[in-house]
Amino acid sequence: MTIVSEITVFSRRGFLASGAALGGGLIVAAFASNPSLAETTLRDDADTDGNGFAPNAFIEITSDGQVTLTVGKSEMGQGTQTGIAQLIADELGCSWGSISVVQAKSAPIFGFPFNGFMITGGSSGLRSEWTRMRKMGAAARMMLEQAAANKWSVDIKTLSVAEGVVAAPDGRRATFASLVSDASKLPVPDDPSLKSAGERSVIGRLVKRLDTNQKTTGQAVYGIDVRIPNMVTAVVISAPQFQAPVQTFDAERALARPGVIDVLSISTGVAIVADHFWAAHSASEDVDIVWGRGPFAGIDMDDLRDGYRRALDTPGKIAEATGDGEAVVDGRRITREFEQPYLAHACMEPMNFTVSIGDGVAEVWGPTQAQSLVQSSVGKIAGIDPENVTVHTTFLGGGFGRRSAQDFIEAATEIAMATGRPVQLIYSREDDMRAGRYRAFNLTRATGTLDKVGEIAALDIKIAKPSVSKWSRLPFLIRDDGVDEQAVEGLVNLPYDIPNTRIEWIDHDPGLPVHFWRAVGASHNPFVVESLIDDLAHVSGQDPLGLRRKLLRSKPRHLAVLDKLADEAGWSAPINADVGRGVALVTSFESIVGEVAEVQIVDGELHVHKVTCVIDCGVAVNPGQVEAQMHSSIVFGLSAFLRGEITLSDGEIDQSNFHDYEPLRLPEMPQINVSILEGAEEPGGVGEPGLPPLLPAVANAVFSLTGERVTQLPFRP
Amino acid sequence: MTTLIINDVHHDVDAPGDMPLLWVIRDLAGLTGTKFGCGAGLCGACTVHLNGVAVRSCQTSLDDAADSTVITIEHVGTTDIGAQVQAAWQDIDVPQCGYCQPGQIMSAVALLSNSPTPDDAAIDAAMAGNLCRCGTYARIRAAIVAAAQA
């Protein structure tokens, strides 16, 4: 089965069922019926000594007791590989110190349990593996226990396991190392039972990340560090004007430079192939290129804005309609328009990929979030069956959605095809900043209506934005009624008790490539909703946090987050007149996060000096990494709020490097306090949910300080 | 031919004098721990020590580094302060994606070499040039403080 057909059979309903529960029947059924789960390990550094124990594709225990876990999820900083190891280790009962994790090669077994699609995103790593990985660990433990039970002629039920040792009530003990040979001859149990919450020992524990030592000693291998025999390095010169085509080029001077091997035209520009990066990069100035006129020639931001404004006055698709928002005509209304910009991901590791094309096969190496898409895109260009494209995933120097895009992979494949040698394509920072695939610009008109007694009666929200799911090549995220879920994420299914809602999406697409960007629709929609709620609280004379409590009276988990937030942030305590304080609460990726920001304006500059954050993500598999991801999302959101903006002038992207697209720096860090509410529910996501409330919390703090509503980002005092 | 010592190893480099030290280290000396982030001295991912001073290796030419001693992330743990900083980074579990951390650590080691007990302002000044897109700044500060107390 090719990847393309996998996408088509991957129904939206299936995704939702898994996205909603990610556990339960689907995965258990998949586990029980999928014979490939007993496959031997498929990892990059397979060095099994032949005496080990590999009950499934994910776990290998060697005869010296070392436990190697093979993980399909890409590690881009979110800690998913450590978290998945905790899920397995908790059930397996090995010692934490005996574990190492290796990255899986591309294979359906390492994709989502319900469809084999290999992608890391949507804060879904631990959610999608929550049941399967624990079952993998439990199955292996049962086999080790059975081996001991057989050896000692005792009932398996009398045995216990901890720290890699099986123990009998009479004091006999056997290490995993001593049992692996016997265990490997036993059948793999179909449906092992799992521990109760009270029995867990590794899940919920603050263990250190398994990659920290590599990442502090220079040993971690990122895409840019891949070295393949006979490899050459390439750069691509793209037009200053976005997507302008090459008409002619003269490479004579460039080819005369030392180290330059070839200069050739590809679909996105002119590629220089050389012995190493500097030889290729510095030769760029010696290629004379005549560019044609690009599709955005003559277009400025104001032209794009006008297009959005006009679109907002056209009818769109109704994403949600509850009650009868139109009927509430005699209440007080607030209508505002919110404009949010294009944003670059600006991962610290510039986009890069290494491609080697063989005879009917390809091997590729690099930082990707979407191995299944890589197989398709390399296969399509090289004329190879996607199954015959092997993807070796390195560490990702940041991802944030950007690394599920295919532009840099396709360009590397084109160059590898043309040169006939393994090629590592490296974007310069400028290439990376100007390659498109941005968080989409969006314009939203939002109306809130209060009834006669000042309660919120209706929300009517209309957003103009392109379909990110279409651009990102995941069309199954578009609902059967044509609404792109990513466009209205954070607008529909709000937890608030508001009787009438009307949510409408206008598919307005100016043609600039857009992509997933941390929290996707929830990166911008909650800014609108939570700003509007704040407005409505203000005009109805209610406390913003108190109003939210009232709207959430039937939602105990949300109430608990709000109450903890009020407590931790000292919401009821008075603050200085020169400090603004704002609150926001957002449910995204199945986690509930509330944040309170405190701001000051000093010499005309906004300073966010404190952020209090409370998260309920169900079971917090690793509290240290939950805290880290809250910090990360808050910093990411703050960078966007204060400065994040990609703009266009006469078809050229204005920003180029970190001087004009500058993420938050260390001295600008607010004090951040994170509280994690202990939950019994299945884990929610943590890589993204900390971001959505940050922008409105800061905007609401600005309002409380200045009385000015922030309706355009980035913030301009 | 330009001579320099990288991590105690003598290198004779046959490359143009304007080639940035970053690419000499990565592509000619084969040490990939030092990272390329911006190529413009804006992010600090490429920070190394040149004769004991933290420099952005993407803005340091091979000529500038001639006859000099270069220390990179692969070797900084052989010094007392380097080892303390790496241990603090590990103890506090600082990295997320980790890509910027070699540069962060090299800047922190340089700071503590000059100022064994830096205050917040000194940490701000020394670390402002090192971007971290994952936002590990709070743990970076905590690790510097911990290393200073080690």
The 10s digit of each residue's pLDDT in A530-575 is 999 999 999 999 999 999 999 999 999 999 999 999 999 999 999 9
Q: Which residues from A are below 8 Å from B41, CB to CB?
A: none
B146 contacts chain A (CB < 8 A): no
Question: Which residues 280-319 of A have a C-beta within 8 angstroms of B?
Answer: 281-282
Nearest to A220 among B94, B98, B138 (CB): B98
Question: Which residues 59-118 of B have a C-beta within 8 angstroms of A?
Answer: 72-74, 77, 86, 89-90, 93-102, 105
Q: Is the pLDDT of residue A17 over 70?
A: no
- Per DSSP, the three-state class of A73 is coil
- Average pLDDT, stretch A175-185? 95
Give residue A492's identity as a one-letter amino acid code.
V
Provide the shortest C-alpha distance from residue A79 to chain B (in Å).
7
State the Cα–Cα distance between residues A555 and A557, nearest whole angstrom. Answer: 6
Does residue B33 share a domain with residue B93?
A: no
Q: Taking a C-beta distance cutoff of 8 angstroms, is the pair A501, A458 a contact?
A: yes
Report pLDDT for A73.
97
A79 contacts chain B (CB < 8 A): yes
Does residue B92 share a domain with residue B71?
A: no
Report pLDDT for A642.
98
Provide the shortest C-alpha distance from residue B122 to chain A (in Å).
10
Give residue A325's pLDDT band: very low, low, confident or very high (50, 70, 90). Answer: low
Report pLDDT for A558.
98
Does residue B112 share a domain with residue B84?
A: yes
Report pLDDT for A334.
95
Nearest to A76 among B97, B128, B139 (CB): B97
Provide the shortest C-alpha distance from residue A582 to chain B (in Å).
22
Give residue A34's pLDDT band: very low, low, confident or very high (50, 70, 90). Answer: very low
Number of domains in chain B: 2
Does residue B10 share a domain with residue B29?
A: yes
The 10s digit of each residue's pLDDT in B86-126 is 999 999 999 999 999 999 999 999 999 999 999 999 999 99
Does residue B91 share a domain with residue B137?
A: yes
Give residue A8's pLDDT band: very low, low, confident or very high (50, 70, 90). Answer: very low
| A-B Cβ pairs (cutoff 8 Å, strict) | 173
Does residue B70 share a domain with residue B121?
A: no
Report pLDDT for A27.
23
- Average pLDDT, stretch A491-518? 97
A215–B95 CB contact, under 8 Å: yes
Q: Phi first, then psi: what are they for A392, rounded to 5°?
A: -105, 115
Report pLDDT for A32.
28
In chain A, % of residues over pLDDT 70? 92
Boundary of a domain, candidates B17, B52, B75: B75
Q: What is the CATH number of the domain that holds B20?
A: 3.10.20.30
B49 contacts chain A (CB < 8 A): no
Does residue B140 share a domain with residue B86?
A: yes
A228 contacts chain B (CB < 8 A): no
A208 contacts chain B (CB < 8 A): yes
Report pLDDT for A328.
60
The 10s digit of each residue's pLDDT in B4-58 is 999 999 999 999 999 999 999 999 999 999 999 999 999 999 999 999 999 999 9
Give residue A452's pLDDT band: very low, low, confident or very high (50, 70, 90). Answer: confident
Report pLDDT for A23.
24
Q: Which residues from B are below 8 Å from A282, CB to CB?
A: 18-19
With b meaning 16 or more CB within 10 Å and e meaning fewer, what string describes A277-309?
bbbbbbbbebbebebeebebeebbbeebeebbe
Give residue A634's pLDDT band: very low, low, confident or very high (50, 70, 90). Answer: very high
Does residue B91 share a domain with residue B38?
A: no
Boundary of a domain, candidates B41, B75, B109: B75
Q: Which of A448, A456, A368 is nearest to A406 (CA)?
A: A368
Does residue B108 share a domain with residue B66?
A: no
Q: Which residues from B are below 8 Å from A350, CB to CB?
A: 36-37
Report pLDDT for A47.
45
Q: Which residues from A are below 8 Å from B109, CB to CB?
A: none
Q: What is the DSSP string of A632-684?
A: HHHHHHHHHHHT--B-EETTEES--STTTS----GGGPPEEEEEE----SPP-
Nearest to B97 among A348, A633, A657 (CB): A348
State the Cα–Cα distance between residues A141 and B41, nearest whole angstrom. Answer: 52
Does residue B70 share a domain with residue B96?
A: no
B137–A666 CB contact, under 8 Å: yes
Report pLDDT for A9.
25
A631–B102 CB contact, under 8 Å: no
| CA A31 to chain CA mean position, Å | 25
Q: Is the pLDDT of residue A50 over 70?
A: no
Q: Taking a C-beta distance cutoff of 8 angstroms, is the pair A558, A592 a contact?
A: yes
Report pLDDT for A679.
87
Boundary of a domain, candidates B45, B75, B105: B75
Does residue B134 share a domain with residue B83?
A: yes
The domain in which residue B71 lies consists of 2-75
Query: What is the average pLDDT value for chain A, to the nearest integer?
Result: 92
Give residue A54's pLDDT band: very low, low, confident or very high (50, 70, 90). Answer: confident
Q: Is the pLDDT of residue A51 over 80?
A: no
Q: What is the CATH number of the domain that holds B126?
A: 1.10.150.120
Q: Which residues from B are below 8 Å from A219, CB to CB?
A: 33, 74
Q: Is the pLDDT of residue A154 over 80?
A: yes
Report pLDDT for A330.
65
Does residue B84 share a domain with residue B55?
A: no
Comparison of pLDDT for A13 and A268, the residue scoring more: A268
Interface test with B, best of A78, A278, A395 (most B CBs within 10 A): A278
